[in-house]
C-alpha cells in the first residue's frame, strides 16, 4: 500500500516539475500565462479514521491570467491589452480563438494576422459608425479611391474701404480688371487635379462685390456660371458668369443669404474636364464665413472635400482599438475597430497552443466588446505583453518539486526494504 501511495506522489511531483519546466521554457513567450499544479489527497471509501490515506492526485493544472508587462517594440501593429480581455482571432479551420499575444502583421492578402495565420477580428466601419455586432475579419485596401470635389469652404475678408471698382471690364488675363483672387486645387472623379480660381471685383454700389469662378486656368474659356438656389444675384446676360456678393453694415454677408435654402453657398454649373474623360465637376462654394471689415484682404481658410487616389502607407491603432489606414493622398481612413472578448471563468479556457485559447462550457461564452468599455482594458499600440512567468518563483517551485520527488522515491525505497525484510523472515 505504501509503495502505491509513494508512486502516486512520484507521479504528482513529476507533473508539478513538468508544469514548472513549461513555465520556465516560456518565460520569453509573448502573451504566455504561467500555470501551477494543484493537488488533492486520496482516501479509500470508508477508510477515514482507520487508514492514513491513499496518497495524492493532480486535481488540475491551473493558469494564472494576471497581467504581464507591456514591452515596447516600436511596431504599430504589435498590440497589447492593458487590463482585461483577449484578442479574438479566426483560425484556419474557421473557428474562433482568443489570445493575449498581439504580434499582428499584414499578410499577402491584406488581412491582419499573427504568425500562425490566425486573423484578427474587428468591427466594421460603415456609414460613420462601427457595427459592434458580430466581429469580422479586416482586409486592408491597398488603394484609396479618388473623390471628386463637390464643396469648397472659402473664408476671406474683403476690405471695407480702399478698394475701388476697376476701370476696365473683368478679364482674368488682366490683373487690373479685378481687385483680388484666391486659388485652390479641386479634383475630378478620376482624381485629376484642377486649379479653381475665385476672382473678386469691387462694385460702385456700397458693400457690393462680384465673384467669378474659373477652373483649370485663366483665359481658357472654362469659366463656370452660377446656377440654382445658391446663385442669387447671378450676373446679367451681358455678364453671365458673375455672382453678386453683398454685405450689411456690420460686414456680415447677406447675399448669398445665410438662411435656408442657400445657407451662404453659391452653386455653379458643371465644369466638364473633357480632355480627361472624368465626370463633370459640380461645385458649391460656401461663403458663410466671408466678411467685409476694415482691414486688408486676407484668406483665413480654404477647405475642399475632394482628393486624388492614393496608395497604402501604413496602419495605426489608438487606445480604443480604432484601426486607421494612411494613404499617399493624405487620407487617414477608419477601417475597423479591434474586438475584445472576456470570459466569466478565464481559467477554464482550453489551451490551444501558440498562446491562444478556446472557450469551453466551464469558461462560459465569450463576452464581446470594445476596448475601454464593459470592464475591458485599453489597447496599446507598439507593445507586446510579456509572459507573466516569475523566474525566481519557478526556480523555487522546481526545488520543491524535486524534493517532493526525492522524498517519495525514498518512501518507495524504504517500503521495498521493509518488504524484503519480511520476505527474508524464516
Average pLDDT over residues 143-169: 93
Nine-digit cell string for 267 = 452653386
In terms of pLDDT, which residue wins out, 342 or 241? 342
- Whether 257 and 349 map to the same domain: the answer is no
CATH number at 207 reads 2.60.98.20
| Percent of the residues in the chain that have a pLDDT greater than 90, as a whole number | 58
Same domain for 194 and 137? no
Distance (Å) of CA 366 to CA 83, 340, 361, 405: 16, 9, 11, 40
Shared domain for 241 and 345, answered yes or no, is: no
pLDDT tens digits, residue range 84-132? 999 999 998 999 999 999 999 999 999 999 999 999 999 998 888 888 8
Same domain, 200 and 297: yes
SS3 270: coil
pTM for this one?
Answer: 0.76
Strands of 30-169 (E only): list them.
Answer: 35-42, 55-63, 70-72, 78-82, 86-90, 96-99, 102-103, 105-106, 112-113, 119-126, 129-137, 143-144, 151-159
* DSSP label at residue 175: G
Whether pLDDT at 221 is above 70: no
| H or E segment to which residue 246 belongs | strand 243-247
Strands (E) across 377-417 are located at 378-381, 383-385
**Among 99-103, 156-160, 211-215, 275-279, which is the least confidently predicted range?**
275-279
Q: Are both 348 and 226 inside the same structural domain?
A: no
Is 358 in contact with 97 (CB distance < 8 Å)?
Answer: yes
Domain boundary among 254, 289, 304: 304
Split at pLDDT 50, 70, 90, the class of 229 is very low
Q: Establish if 65 belongs to a structural domain.
A: no
- Shared-domain flag, residues 182 and 279: yes
Does 216 share its domain with 282? yes
- Same domain for 241 and 293, yes or no, is yes
Count: domains in the chain: 3
> Where in the sequence is the domain holding 99, given as residue range(s)?
70-143+311-385
pLDDT at position 47 is: 55
Amino acid at each position: 500500500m505504501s509503495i502505491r501511495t509513494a508512486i502516486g506522489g512520484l507521479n504528482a511531483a513529476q507533473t508539478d516539475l513538468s508544469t514548472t519546466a513549461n513555465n520556465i521554457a516560456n518565460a520569453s513567450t509573448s502573451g504566455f500565462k504561467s500555470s501551477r499544479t494543484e493537488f488533492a489527497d486520496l482516501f479509500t471509501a470508508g477508510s477515514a479514521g482507520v487508514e492514513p490515506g491513499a496518497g495524492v492526485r493532480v486535481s488540475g493544472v491551473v493558469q494564472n491570467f494576471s497581467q504581464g508587462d507591456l514591452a515596447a517594440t516600436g511596431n504599430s501593429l504589435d498590440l497589447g491589452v492593458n487590463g482585461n480581455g483577449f484578442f479574438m482571432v479566426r483560425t484556419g479551420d474557421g473557428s474562433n480563438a482568443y489570445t493575449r499575444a498581439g504580434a499582428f502583421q499584414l499578410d499577402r492578402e491584406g488581412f491582419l494576422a499573427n504568425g500562425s495565420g490566425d486573423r484578427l477580428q474587428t468591427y466594421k466601419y460603415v456609414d460613420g459608425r462601427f457595427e459592434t455586432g458580430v466581429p469580422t475579419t479586416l482586409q486592408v485596401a491597398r488603394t484609396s479611391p479618388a473623390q471628386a470635389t463637390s464643396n469648397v469652404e472659402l473664408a476671406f475678408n474683403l476690405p471695407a474701404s480702399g478698394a475701388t471698382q476697376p476701370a476696365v471690364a473683368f478679364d482674368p488675363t488682366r490683373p487690373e480688371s479685378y481687385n483680388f483672387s484666391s486659388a485652390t486645387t479641386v479634383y475630378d472623379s478620376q482624381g485629376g487635379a484642377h486649379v479653381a480660381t475665385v476672382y473678386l471685383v469691387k462694385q460702385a454700389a456700397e458693400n457690393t462685390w462680384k465673384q467669378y469662378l474659373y477652373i483649370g486656368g485663366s483665359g481658357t474659356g472654362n469659366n463656370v456660371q452660377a446656377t440654382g438656389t445658391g446663385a442669387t444675384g447671378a450676373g446679367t446676360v451681358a455678364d453671365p458668369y458673375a455672382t453678386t456678393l453683398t454685405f450689411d453694415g456690420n460686414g456680415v454677408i447677406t447675399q448669398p443669404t445665410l438662411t435656408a435654402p442657400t445657407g451662404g453657398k453659391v452653386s455653379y454649373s458643371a465644369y466638364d474636364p473633357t480632355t480627361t474623360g472624368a465626370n463633370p465637376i459640380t461645385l458649391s462654394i460656401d461663403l458663410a464665413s466671408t466678411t467685409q471689415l476694415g482691414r486688408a484682404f486676407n484668406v483665413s481658410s480654404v477647405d475642399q472635400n475632394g482628393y486624388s487616389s492614393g496608395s497604402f502607407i501604413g496602419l495605426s491603432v489608438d487606445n480604443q482599438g480604432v484601426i486607421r489606414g494612411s494613404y499617399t493622398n493624405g487620407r487617414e481612413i477608419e477601417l475597423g475597430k479591434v474586438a475584445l472578448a472576456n470570459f466569466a471563468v478565464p481559467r477554464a479556457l482550453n489551451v490551444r497552443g501558440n498562446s491562444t485559447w478556446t472557450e469551453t462550457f466551464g469558461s462560459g461564452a465569450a463576452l464581446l466588446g470594445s476596448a475601454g468599455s464593459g470592464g475591458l482594458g485599453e489597447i496599446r499600440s507598439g507593445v507586446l505583453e510579456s509572459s507573466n512567468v516569475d523566474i525566481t518563483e519557478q526556480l523555487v517551485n522546481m526545488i520543491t518539486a524535486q524534493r517532493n520527488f526525492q522524498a517519495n522515491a525514498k518512501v518507495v525505497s524504504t517500503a521495498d526494504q521493509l518488504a524484503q525484510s519480511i520476505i527474508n523472515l524464516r
